[in-house]
Amino acid sequence: MYFRDVIGQEEVKKRLIRSAQTGVVPHAQLFTEQGGAGAFPLAIAYGRYLNCSHRTEEDACGVCPSCVKYDALAHPDLHFVFPIVSKKEKKKEVCDDYLPEWRDFLKGRPYFTIDHWLEHMDAGNSQAIIYSKESDEIIRKLSLKIYEAEYRILLVWLPEKLHQTCANKLLKIIEEPPANTIILMVSEAPDLILGTIQSRSQRIPIRPIATESIEKALLSQYKLEVKDAQDVAHRASGSYVQAMEAISLGDENAFFLEQFKGMMRNSWTRNVKGMKAMGDVLAGIGRERQKNFLVYCQYLIRENFMYRFQSPDITYMNMEEKSFSNNFAPYVNERNVFDLMDELAKAERHIAQNVNAKMVFFDLGLRITVLIKR
């Protein structure tokens, strides 16, 4: 990640570049944002720029030994601390155990949320935190001699997830920093960070991205009409993550949307064989996902019902869902909307009560057959 990969944020880029050029580099810096504004890519680009031996006025060179190692996120003087889920059976208890996954995750992905990372880690329903065990790791790494860099960088993503013990250790380090060590923290909830860490760090507020910058980035990264790019950028509230989600669905929702389409198609054409087959597929995805799917179906029915009454830009649907709704919305009307919602909620309840999933989904298909023709 380079400064050029960061969307908009020209003022902050200038500020960070100036800091590197003048050598006034606070040893603890706290980047804060509401999510999706680019604080993480900015922090990495800054660390890279600080250590680049041939930097230009705008960015790092991309060819010096330091830049090459930063490209692979494998510089010996670049350390990451980030929330993880502990997997005792796989001996994954500190961040370094996740390094291969973490590097893989960051490759070509400057904008992300904790949910994306949880999914990448296969976290299941676990919460990710930075465990107390990590404090020994941090102390160990920072007590070593710096290998080769001008500035050793410790990048802490989401310090609000630090275990108390770890937060206290970090505070000690911030109070007595080892030479040439820069701690960059990227937070989405700075109020949850230890007050003493906050007060001893230089705060770098990252504002939501300007709408025009998002629009420009969308046009260069996706095949979009100018009008659609404007529309998406306008509704993204300054978050590039939100903008991307408005364009393409995540894997899970894309799967759910396909299943929903199949279910409606089967019911409309009275395809009993198809309903059975679908019951088999959905029976195999596990209770949690079955419930999520049924919640998603209720959301789609509700949105499709409202689709006709309101201007399309105030629905919450993303572009793929909307293009489906252009055809589907007329089938959801005053005569069936409440019964459809009831049936979906009932199926959700039955799944929660461990009723046989094949039966639940087959039965649901039959009931929708009756309702959808009203």
Contacts with Zn ion, residue ranges (CB under 5 A) = 52, 60-61, 64, 67
Q: How many CA atoms lie within 13 A of 118 on its CB side?
A: 10
Nearer to Zn ion, 76 or 286 (CB): 76
Contacts of 288 (CB under 8 A, 6+ apart): 125
Alpha helices per DSSP H over the chain: 10-22, 39-51, 65-71, 99-106, 114-121, 134-143, 164-175, 195-199, 211-221, 226-235, 240-247, 251-268, 272-283, 287-307, 319-328, 337-352, 357-372
Q: Least CB distance from residue 48 to Zn ion, whole Å?
A: 7
Q: Least CB distance from residue 55 to Zn ion, whole Å?
A: 6
Nearer to Zn ion, 6 or 329 (CB): 6
Q: Least CB distance from residue 301 to Zn ion, whole Å?
A: 54
Nearer to Zn ion, 61 or 114 (CB): 61
Nearer to Zn ion, 1 or 85 (CB): 1
Q: Least CB distance from residue 53 to Zn ion, whole Å?
A: 6
Nearer to Zn ion, 51 or 290 (CB): 51
Alpha helices per DSSP H over 35-163: 39-51, 65-71, 99-106, 114-121, 134-143
Q: Whose CA is closest to 60, among 45, 71, 73, 74?
A: 45
**Structure tokens belonging to residue 105:** 């995750």
Q: Least CB distance from residue 73 to Zn ion, whole Å?
A: 15
Q: Least CB distance from residue 76 to Zn ion, whole Å?
A: 16
3 state DSSP class of 156:
strand
Q: What are phi and psi of 369, to 5 degrees?
A: -55, -45
Distance in angstroms between the alpha carbons of the first and the last residue of the chain: 54
Nearer to Zn ion, 45 or 174 (CB): 45
CA separation, residue 240 to residues 39, 219, 308 (Å): 11, 13, 28
d(CA 326, CA 231): 17
Burial 232-263 (b: 16+ CB within 10 A, else e): bbeebebbbbbbbbbbebeeebebbbebbebb
Nearer to Zn ion, 64 or 295 (CB): 64
Q: Least CB distance from residue 19 to Zn ion, whole Å?
A: 17
Q: How far is CA 305 from the centre of its chain?
A: 29
Q: Least CB distance from residue 150 to Zn ion, whole Å?
A: 11
d(CA 336, CA 180): 67
Nearer to Zn ion, 61 or 341 (CB): 61
Nearer to Zn ion, 69 or 79 (CB): 69
By the 8 A CB rule, do 138 and 173 touch?
Answer: yes
Q: Least CB distance from residue 45 to Zn ion, whole Å?
A: 12
